[in-house]
Amino acid sequence: MTVESGAATTAALPSQSRAHQSQALADQPPPDLPDQAGGFIQLLTPEGERIDHPDYPLEFSAADIRGMYRDLVLVRRIDTEAISLQRQGELGIWASLLGQEAAQIGSARALSPDDMVFPTYREHGVAWCRGIDPVKLLELYRGVSHGGWAPEEHKFHLYTIVIGSQTLHATGYAMGIQRDGAVGGDPDNPKAPERPGEAVIVYFGDGATSQGDVNEAFVWASVFNAPIVFFCQNNQWAISEPLEKQSRIPLYQRARGFGFPGLRVDGNDVLACYAVTQKAMQAAREGQGPTFIEAFTYRMGAHTTTDDPTRYRLASELEMWKLRDPIERVRAYLARTGLAEPEFFAGVDAEAKQVGARVREACRTMPDPPPLAIFDHVYAEPTSILQTEREQFAAYLDSFEQEGAR
């Protein structure tokens, strides 16, 4: 069990330990920032200045960057609406992506339509880029569906709650791509050259790197040269445990021990995340095997709405990372270079309000499914055991109606 999947938050600490906790917080060093950590790739500074990197040339039109900005703003609005809805009792729980928008939007926009995505439970920005209606995400957290979208239709797998297990699923899918002859550059590929190669990207957090499933996925992906990109959003905290409890070396350096390349990117830089992911996915499609990307970012909110981050991290740490906000740097760049007028920003803000209102109304008016729907879609074909359980549950529900009729 990893610290992210198994450690309880500190919300339930006994009062006598509060003093020790406060002292521990005071003594705790803040995590390295991207520009202090070294080995990172950055194309847009926190101040909104565009810089070049020789290995990651990127030619984006003004419309492309404005589109990225729109994605960032709308996804953050969806996230904040969901938090409010949970606080008002409309959702059972919510896992916020606040602060991680650039890592998700940048990487997701670099994917091709045929690439397959395996998310955790926080990839709301990636879901947005793959055409998933955000209302479908709320159905899951409201408890009225098991996912609500067709993975193959959107090339976006269902959310995964078990920490790290999706890395094995993704690796198996990538090995299936190989066996289907869908890797580009393969002389035995019956779909080439009229169809480009396919690849897989799988998302996970820094805490998941301590999970056995993740390390096993690294082994299989490496030795079978699977067309997969491991995208780790290092947001510094696995619930209440800091990164230093996960690894003594930068996470991206772990890839070397498994025999494939790893790199660190500024996870708050949407342009760098796009460029790095684009190159890694293309390498995977061409048969060059896996890549590990560590997006060095920060979880500005709570782990989930059941978490209280003030119990284990300093407010000054959060304030420090607010200066590296992924949205503000794009806005600064657009404004400084004259690529966007004030009317554009006002229009995006107005659209965000409309999206938020639609999501809120859809959530509050979302119908509850019939109780027996829980048995639908469990298997492709119903089994005898499942049918028996369904009949027993139906009889149980009928007993209430019979009792009420007396």
Structure tokens at 185: 């550059």
Residue showing tokens 């920060």:
298
Q: In this structure, what token pair is assigned to residue 77?
A: 């609005």
* CA separation, residue 23 to residues 28, 243, 246, 312, 313 (Å): 9, 19, 22, 11, 11
Chain center to CA of 389? 35
CB of 184 within 8 A of CB of 282? no
Find the farthest-apart pair of alpha carbons in the chain and give their distance in angstroms, rounded: 80
Query: Which pair of structure tokens corresponds to residue 233?
Result: 């959003």
Instruction: Give strand pairing partners of 238.
Output: 241
Our separate counts of H helices and E strands in the chain read 16, 8
Contacts of 29 (CB under 8 A, 6+ apart): none
Tokens 């560590």 map to which residue? 294
Q: Which amino acid is located at 395 in the chain? A: A
Contacts 24+ apart (CB under 8 A), 174-182: 174/199, 174/200, 174/221, 174/226, 174/227, 174/228, 174/284, 174/290, 175/220, 175/224, 175/226, 177/116, 177/226, 177/227, 178/224, 178/225, 178/226, 178/227, 182/114
CA distances from 160 to 119, 140, 336 (A): 6, 11, 40
- Cα distances (angstroms) measured from residue 352 to each of 68, 75, 194, 357: 14, 8, 39, 9
Distance CA 397, CA 372 (A): 9
| Active site members | 299, 303, 312
**Which residues, 6 or more positions from 362, have their beta carbon under 8 angstroms from its beta carbon?**
135, 138
Cα–Cα distance measured from residue 124 to residue 74, given in angstroms and rounded to the nearest whole number: 11
